[in-house]
Amino acid sequence: MTLLPQEIIRRKRDGGALDPEHIHAFVEGLTTGSVSEGQAASFAMAIFFRGLSVKERVALTQAMTRSGEVLKWDLPGPVLDKHSTGGVGDTVSLALAPAVAACGGYVPMISGRGLGHTGGTLDKFDSIPGYVTQPDIETFRRVTREVGCAVIGQTADLAPADKRLYAIRDVTATVESIDLITASILSKKLAAGLQGLVMDVKFGSGAFMDNPADARALAESLVLVANGAGLPTSALLTDMNEPLASAAGNAVEVNYIVDYLTGRRREPRFHAVTVALCAEMLVLGKLAANLDEARARIEAAISSGRAAEIFQRMVAALGGPADFLDKPGRHLAAAPVIRPVHAEREGIVQRIATRDVGVAVVALGGGRTRPQDPIDHAVGLTELAEVGAAVGSSRPLAIVHARSEAAAEAAERAVRAAYTVGDAPARPGPLVLERIGAKA
């Protein structure tokens, strides 16, 4: 029996189970437009409160995967990818894709825009003039084949149902649903025709999953559903109790990655997470026999400059400047108001309300409160102090990049409120809490 969209919503709202054909029918409506915005939002909210069984979760993932084209590849190396659940200063994808490509992998990365307080990989690449984040499928295939990696957004051909639902989740407070996150992430990855996937599942004050137990549940869901769908997948639980990089924004994070890849600046926390995720990918793709060998290969790819070279080739192949890596300042937008934020007292950073740091970037214009909102790529925060750092008159909490004096002042207040400064020594917790692999 075919159910109307509102009846499917009602069934889930009341705690009932949805048959695969009901889920496929609703997802088809998302794709064709026969399901309204209000119905899509209600569907997401019903799932948020009532949840999905594993069977329903698999059905939703498969339906969204099949809502568009599913790519098939014929390449001389493994097709691999990584996905992060999002955080503040998490710009790993920009370095990871060319680093893995430098080791013989192929990385056709389909990324998203910012969700809530977290930055979006596509918004970062949009700050590069000329870079086409939504090319046609043939361009995506060609760049992946010729360069080794291509970081793009969902086109109309790939998981279009997820693209629509993704935007609605951002503005209806349903981002944190494990069921919806699982289906959203994996539908894009399955549509990309991957042979291996590594998940970076964040926990802490700047993650969607604050509690490590919740993050573990999400990681287990992703690994279970992905491997069940035939995609070899592992996950790392990584710390987001402070920004991963010292930059948060769009152009400022791209500039950070240029410094990282060219060796001008490599912060230990960011580097450690990047290498750990890359190493997982190389092992999944059988490009390294074990994690120690994989880490050594990635370290060599980054330190030798091979990853930087591939990053530049990818930028140029997707329409960006041919001299971008050499002259990022010529091409990246800069905010007109740049000034430091000092703590109200001398001391040591004890804790950071990292989510509030991300919200401050959104308030500056570096994120969205509605899907249609424009992004100001120039604004953000740099030189974010880490937990354990001594701050005061000579070391600011951060540097604000703002469009106006009023916006800068509001960001200053938000940053000060997000930082707890005291006298005791402070040390962050473990950066990688746990690895979750497929169960035999």
| Pairwise CA distance, residues 15 & 49, whole Å | 9
Residue in 57, 188, 216, 295 annotated catalytic:
188
pLDDT at 235: 97
Residue in 163, 169, 355, 368 annotated catalytic:
169
Q: How confident is the model at residue 337 (pLDDT cuts 50, 70, 90)?
A: very high
Is position 124 annotated as part of the catalytic site? no
pLDDT digits (tens, 9 = 90+) for 421-438: 999 999 998 999 999 997
Is position 169 annotated as part of the catalytic site? yes
| Pairwise CA distance, residues 389 & 426, whole Å | 8
* pLDDT surpassing 90 at residue 373: no
The proportion of the chain whose per-residue pLDDT surpasses 90, expressed as a percent, equals: 82
* Alpha-carbon distances of 19 from 57, 142, 226, rounded to whole Å: 11, 39, 20
* pLDDT surpassing 60 at residue 440: no
Is position 202 annotated as part of the catalytic site? no
Query: Mean pLDDT in the chain?
Result: 93
Residue 111's DSSP bridge partners are: 153
pLDDT at 86: 87
Distance of CA 269 to the CA centre of its chain: 17
Is position 82 annotated as part of the catalytic site? yes
Laid out side by side, the sheet with 233-239 consists of 80-84, 196-203, 233-239, 432-436
Q: How confident is the model at residue 116 (pLDDT cuts 50, 70, 90)?
A: low
Global pTM value: 0.89
Is position 36 annotated as part of the catalytic site? no
Residue in 24, 57, 66, 83 annotated catalytic:
83
Q: How confident is the model at residue 371 (pLDDT cuts 50, 70, 90)?
A: low
Distance linking the first and last C-alpha atoms of the chain = 38
Best-predicted range by mean pLDDT (59-63, 185-189, 313-317): 313-317
Residue in 65, 93, 118, 121 annotated catalytic:
121
Q: How confident is the model at residue 265 (pLDDT cuts 50, 70, 90)?
A: very high
Q: Please give the residue that has the higher pLDDT: either 171 or 284.
A: 284
Q: In the predicted model, what is the mean pLDDT of residues 233-242? A: 97
Q: Which of 158, 119, 380 is nearest to 240 (CA)?
A: 119
* pLDDT surpassing 80 at residue 57: yes
**Domains of the chain with CATH codes:** 5-51 (1.20.970.10), 80-328 (3.40.1030.10), 333-422 (3.90.1170.30)
* pLDDT surpassing 70 at residue 24: yes
Q: Which residues of 359-383 are buried (b: 16+ CB within 10 A; e: fewer)?
A: bbbbbbbbbbeeeeeebbbbbbbbe
3-state secondary structure of 292: helix
CB atoms within 10 A of CB 145: 15
pLDDT at 217: 92
pLDDT at 1: 55
Is position 188 annotated as part of the catalytic site? yes
Residue in 66, 82, 113, 163 annotated catalytic:
82
Is position 83 annotated as part of the catalytic site? yes
pLDDT digits (tens, 9 = 90+) for 181-212: 899 889 989 988 999 999 999 999 999 888 99
Q: How confident is the model at residue 21 (pLDDT cuts 50, 70, 90)?
A: very high
| Pairwise CA distance, residues 62 & 23, whole Å | 10
Q: Is the dihedral of CA 93, 95, 98, 103 positive or negative?
A: negative
* pLDDT surpassing 70 at residue 115: no
Q: In the predicted model, what is the mean pLDDT of residues 121-125? A: 91
What token pair was written down for 395? Answer: 């070391």
CB atoms within 10 A of CB 338: 14
What residues contact 432, with CB distance under 8 A and at least 6 apart? 236, 237, 238, 239, 272, 273, 276
Residue in 42, 84, 177, 246 annotated catalytic:
84
CB atoms within 10 A of CB 224: 18
pLDDT at 416: 98
Q: Which of 262, 268, 251, 256 is nearest to 307 (CA)?
A: 262
The proportion of the chain whose per-residue pLDDT surpasses 70, expressed as a percent, equals: 98
Q: How confident is the model at residue 393 (pLDDT cuts 50, 70, 90)?
A: very high
Residue in 42, 85, 174, 184 annotated catalytic:
184
Residue 81's DSSP bridge partners are: 197
